């Protein structure tokens, strides 16, 4: 409890609060514009957080993502385009409600269930992470190798249309991570004579390239112009809201629970949580026939689920240093940049920092109510910001952001190359999230693998000798061997699935 | 360019082999049978394995579709040009920002892109947006975050 008080002190500092509010506004804006996702918001924030102490840096990412996930509902309901992939599950439903003249109700429900789901996620995160961390302290390099493998495996297999493509994308990320001096032998790898590459590929330009640059390319080559918003004003979003929430209170709890659990799975984030919750809501509904015609029930489930999932994804990220999705992968990268070693030792060495993350989750979700309300009210203007203006400015922002990390234009080159590569990969159905996870975890994976190999004197059986590592290894290998599992997962996603970009 | 999965598969098998080739003279650890090449080779192996799976998938799902389809925007000269313009602008920035300085380079990049994307008739507002964006970015990164953005030909003056 003392730690919570210390953490409150850290967060309730004028500078941190200002950062939180600005990040919140930024997140809402990014989430509300289709094509700019919560992940891209995080990617663009990173160069800025680079200059901050850890607490405001983390608080800023937490707030921006929580806001962005909700804001994705805005274009979903008003334009029938999900603002972020996390809203894709119920975009048709929300738009059908707008068509029936219930835009206020659907946005209000989305907002309040997001707040409730987010707070639920924050509670679960605050209570489970410290307990799990205590357990994780007993882990050795064998367990970490399997944990990293497990996380990466899930990332490659769960959220993709084809496991082979997820695997290849992951390998690309891992390969990029091997560029530079090899830590075990001191030999430079794949730097092709470049001194700058000898230090490795910095993850910040890489990530900005993969998430932001690729989107710029997609936007300037889009043949179809984005649809215009209907001219209509948003009235009182709280009218009739109480009745809906009371009627579907079980859905709120169920959606939030599913959200946290799915989020905590390595490799699955808010978007998958929303798909699953929506499917579950339909299955257990008393009136499933109404789903798809503009029925609020599924939106309560999925709307709370995607925000609760956000808290869930931070559990494995904070406890083991294994990210649950691409946003937390970026967070892990940020922690490394800040000289911290994500994992259970942070709970011992800097517990106040972890508790500050918990507090910022609460803060962000409480703040979501007023800021979200403001975003809903200004949705008409927000959605009218022209792409042709936004993209060049974002491009320039990316350039300066990558430059800022090492103060050389070399990073800009890396961003460009990886932007082009990931644009083509995505066009051919390769997911990008596994690549970024591979890039972030590559170092840890290789280190723990090589350390374990040396400890075991090259005997691979040693990877299964400790009980926990045996269990983790068995789970990982089971997943490798059973693409069947993956089919079950994919059933939850709609057949016409909007492209799983994150 | 959208290619059939089988072609991506062949590409990644070759890429995996290339990794084996590039790692051929990596040193091994003392007293062990492996070294710096082990991990990249495992990556190459899995990449190749994924490639094999993609070949099967591609052949199975081809169903008469062409092996290679060009994306729809390639046939529109305007969109094709937009794609290359973005690359060109970045290369331009990389090459000249140090000499010319951040403010003029960023302005040229933004002004060119905005004019191209919005149409030349908007050049007045495009110029305005470019100036505003450059000032905001310069102030935010250059002054507030203290990033040493190059001044180049712009004489150094503190704002």
User: Residue A444 belongs to what H/E stretch?
Assistant: helix A433-455
Hey, are the CB atoms on A428 and B98 less than 8 Å from each other?
no
Report H helices in A231-291: 241-247, 249-264, 270-284
Q: Does B107 lie at the interface with A, CB-CB under 8 angstroms?
A: no
- The tokens describing A324, both together, are 């649950």
Secondary structure of B72-92 in HEC code, one letter for each residue: HHHHCHHHHHHHHHHHHHHHH
CA angle A13, A14, A16 (to 5 degrees): 65
Residue of A19, A47, A48, A168 for testing the chain B interface, max B β-carbons within 10 Å: A168
Task: For this complex, say whether ipTM is above 0.95.
Answer: no
Q: What is the pLDDT of residues A156-190, one digit of tens each?
A: 776 567 888 989 999 999 999 999 888 778 888 88
Of B32, B118, B149, the CB nearest to A388: B118
Q: What percent of chain A has pLDDT over 90?
A: 29
Q: Which residue's structure tokens are 């693409």?
A: A483
Query: Is the per-residue pLDDT at B48 higher than 90?
Result: yes
Q: Which residue's structure tokens are 């691409």?
A: A326
Q: What is the mean pLDDT of residues A336-361?
A: 86
Q: Which residue's structure tokens are 């492996």?
A: B34
Size of interface A-B (CB pairs under 8 A): 167
Q: Please, what's the largest Cα pairwise distance for chain A? A: 70
Going by pLDDT thresholds of 50, 70 and 90, the confidence category of residue A231 is low
Q: What is the pLDDT of residues A187-207, one digit of tens each?
A: 888 888 788 888 888 888 998
How many Å apart are CA B111 and CA B106, to the nearest integer? 8
How many Å apart are CA A482 and CA A486, to the nearest integer? 8
Hey, are the CB atoms on B90 and A412 less than 8 Å from each other?
yes
Torsion of CA B64, B69, B71, B77, to 10 degrees: -130
Q: Does B17 lie at the interface with A, CB-CB under 8 angstroms?
A: no
Q: What is the pLDDT of residue B159?
A: 47
- The tokens describing B79, both together, are 């969109």
Q: Which comes out higher in pLDDT, residue A183 or B133?
A: B133
Q: Which comes out higher in pLDDT, residue A105 or A324?
A: A105
Q: What is the pLDDT of residue A352?
A: 87
Q: What is the pLDDT of residue A445?
A: 85
Query: How close are the terminal C-alpha atoms of chain B, in Å?
Result: 47
To the nearest whole Å, the CA of A236 is away from the closest chain B CA by 35
**Mean pLDDT for chain B overall:** 87
Query: Strand pairing partners for B2?
Result: B69
Q: Which of A7-16, A312-321, A460-469 has the lowest mean pLDDT?
A: A460-469
Say if CB B51 and CB B8 are below 8 A apart: yes
Hey, are the CB atoms on A420 and B87 less than 8 Å from each other?
yes
Query: Strand pairing partners for B69?
Result: B2
Q: Does B54 lie at the interface with A, CB-CB under 8 angstroms?
A: yes
Q: What is the pLDDT of residue A119?
A: 95
Hey, are the CB atoms on B117 and A458 less than 8 Å from each other?
no
How many Å apart are CA A259 and CA A125, to the nearest integer? 12
**Mean pLDDT for chain A overall:** 85
Residues 164-193 of A with CB under 8 A from B: 164-165, 167-168, 171-172, 174-175, 178, 182, 184-185, 187, 189-190
**Residues of A291-316 as b/e, b for ≥16 C-beta within 10 angstroms?**
beebbbbbbbbbbbbbbbbbbbbbbb
Q: What is the pLDDT of residues A232-242, one digit of tens each?
A: 677 788 888 88
Of A437, A488, A447, the residue nearest A169 (C-alpha): A437
Going by pLDDT thresholds of 50, 70 and 90, the confidence category of residue A488 is low
Collect all residues with Cβ–Cβ distance below 8 Å to B14 and sequence separation of at least 6.
none
Q: What is the mean pLDDT of residues A58-86?
A: 89
Residue B90 CA: distances (Å) to CA of A395, A415, B141: 9, 10, 18
DSSP string for residues in chain B: -EE-HHHHHHHHHHHHHHHHHHTTTPPBPTTSS-BTTHHHHHHHHHHHHHHHHHHHHHHHHHTT--SEE--GGGGSHHHHHHHHHHHHHHHHHHHHHHHH-HHHHHHHHHHHHHHHHH-GGGHHHHHHHHHHHHHHHIIIIIIIS------TTSPP---
Of A108, A90, A115, the residue nearest A279 (C-alpha): A90
To the nearest whole Å, the CA of B26 is away from the closest chain A CA by 7
Q: What is the pLDDT of residue A460?
A: 77
How many Å apart are CA A60 and CA A215, to the nearest integer? 22
Q: What percent of chain B has pLDDT over 90?
A: 47
To the nearest whole Å, the CA of B66 is away from the closest chain A CA by 14
How many Å apart are CA A425 and CA A165, to the nearest integer? 9
Query: Is the per-residue pLDDT at B68 higher than 60?
Result: yes
Q: What is the pLDDT of residue A498?
A: 44
Query: Is the per-residue pLDDT at A123 higher than 90?
Result: yes
Query: Strand pairing partners for B35?
Result: B28
Residues of A in contact with B36 (CB under 8 A): 182, 184-185, 187, 189
Residues of A in contact with B145 (CB under 8 A): 48, 51, 404
**Residues of B133-155 as b/e, b for ≥16 C-beta within 10 angstroms?**
bbeebbeebbeebebebbbbeee
Query: Strand pairing partners for B28?
Result: B35
Hey, are the CB atoms on A403 and B146 less than 8 Å from each other?
no
Q: What is the mean pLDDT of residues A356-367?
A: 92
Going by pLDDT thresholds of 50, 70 and 90, the confidence category of residue B77 is confident
Q: Does A481 lie at the interface with B, CB-CB under 8 angstroms?
A: no
- The tokens describing B153, both together, are 């030909």
Q: Does B45 lie at the interface with A, CB-CB under 8 angstroms?
A: no
Collect all residues with Cβ–Cβ distance below 8 Å to B120 and sequence separation of at least 6.
none
Going by pLDDT thresholds of 50, 70 and 90, the confidence category of residue B91 is very high
CB atoms within 10 A of CB A417: 16
Query: Is the per-residue pLDDT at A321 higher than 90?
Result: no
Q: Which comes out higher in pLDDT, residue B134 or A144?
A: B134
Q: What is the mean pLDDT of residues A42-47?
A: 90
**Residues of A401-416 as b/e, b for ≥16 C-beta within 10 angstroms?**
bbbbbeeebbbbbbbb
How many Å apart are CA B69 and CA B81, to the nearest integer? 19
């Amino acid at each position: 409890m003392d730690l919570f008080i210390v953490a409150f002190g850290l967060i309730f500092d004028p500078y941190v609060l200002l950062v939180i509010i600005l990040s919140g506004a930024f997140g809402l804006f990014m989430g509300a514009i289709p094509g700019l996702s919560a992940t891209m918001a995080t990617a663009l924030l990173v160069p800025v957080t680079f200059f901050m102490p850890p607490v405001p840096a983390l608080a800023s990412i937490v707030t921006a993502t929580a806001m962005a996930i909700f804001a994705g509902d805005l274009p979903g309901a008003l334009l029938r385009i999900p603002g972020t992939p996390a809203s894709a599950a119920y975009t048709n439903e929300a738009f059908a409600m707008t068509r029936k003249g219930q835009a206020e109700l659907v946005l209000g429900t989305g907002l309040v269930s997001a707040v409730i789901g987010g707070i639920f996620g924050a509670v679960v995160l605050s209570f489970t992470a410290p307990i799990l961390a205590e357990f994780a302290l007993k882990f050795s390099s064998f367990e970490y190798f399997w944990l990293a493998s497990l996380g990466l495996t899930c990332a490659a297999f769960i959220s993709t249309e084809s496991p082979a493509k997820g695997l290849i994308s992951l390998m690309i990320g891992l390969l990029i991570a091997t560029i530079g001096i090899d830590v075990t032998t001191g030999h430079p790898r794949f730097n092709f004579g470049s001194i700058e590459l000898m230090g490795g590929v910095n993850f910040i330009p890489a990530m900005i390239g993969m998430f932001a640059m690729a989107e710029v390319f997609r936007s300037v080559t889009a043949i179809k112009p984005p649809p215009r918003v209907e001219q209509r004003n948003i009235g009182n979003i709280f009218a009739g809201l109480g009745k809906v929430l009371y009627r579907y209170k079980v859905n709120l709890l169920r959606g939030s629970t599913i959200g946290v659990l799915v989020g905590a799975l390595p490799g699955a984030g808010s978007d998958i949580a929303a798909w699953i919750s929506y499917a579950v809501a339909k299955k257990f509904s008393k009136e499933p026939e109404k789903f798809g015609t503009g029925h609020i029930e599924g939106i309560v489930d999925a709307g709370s689920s995607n925000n609760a999932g956000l808290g869930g994804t931070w559990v494995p990220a904070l406890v083991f240093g294994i990210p649950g999705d691409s946003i937390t992968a970026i967070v892990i990268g940020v922690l490394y940049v800040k000289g911290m070693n994500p994992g259970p030792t942070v709970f011992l060495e800097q517990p106040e920092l972890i508790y500050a993350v918990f507090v910022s989750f609460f803060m962000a979700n409480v703040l979501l109510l007023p800021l979200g309300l403001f975003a809903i009210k200004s949705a008409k203007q927000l959605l009218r910001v022209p792409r042709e203006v936004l993209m060049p400015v974002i491009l320039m922002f990316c350039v300066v952001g990558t430059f800022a990390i090492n103060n050389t234009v070399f990073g800009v080159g890396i961003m460009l190359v990886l932007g082009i590569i990931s644009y083509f990969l995505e066009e051919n159905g390769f997911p990008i999230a596994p690549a970024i996870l591979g890039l972030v975890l590559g170092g840890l994976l290789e280190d723990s693998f090589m350390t374990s190999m040396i400890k075991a004197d090259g005997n691979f059986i040693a990877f299964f000798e400790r009980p926990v590592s045996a269990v983790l290894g068995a789970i990982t290998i089971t997943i490798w061997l059973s693409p069947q599992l993956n089919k079950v997962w994919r059933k939850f996603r709609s057949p016409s699935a909007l492209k799983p970009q994150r | 360019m959208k290619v059939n999965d089988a072609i991506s598969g062949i590409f990644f098998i070759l890429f995996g082999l290339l990794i084996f080739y590039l790692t051929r003279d990596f040193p091994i650890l003392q007293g062990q049978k492996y070294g710096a090449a082990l991990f990249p080779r495992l990556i190459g192996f899995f990449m190749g394995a994924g490639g094999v799976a993609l070949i099967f998938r591609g052949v199975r799902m081809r169903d008469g579709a062409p092996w290679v389809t060009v994306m729809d925007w390639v046939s529109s000269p305007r969109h094709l040009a937009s794609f290359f313009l973005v690359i060109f602008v970045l290369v331009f920035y990389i090459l000249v920002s140090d000499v010319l300085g951040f403010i003029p380079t960023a302005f040229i990049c933004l002004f060119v892109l905005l004019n191209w994307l919005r149409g030349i008739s908007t050049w007045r507002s495009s110029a305005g947006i470019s100036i505003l964006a450059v000032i905001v970015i310069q102030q935010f990164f250059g002054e507030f975050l203290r990033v040493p953005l190059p001044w180049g030909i712009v004489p150094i003056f503190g704002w």
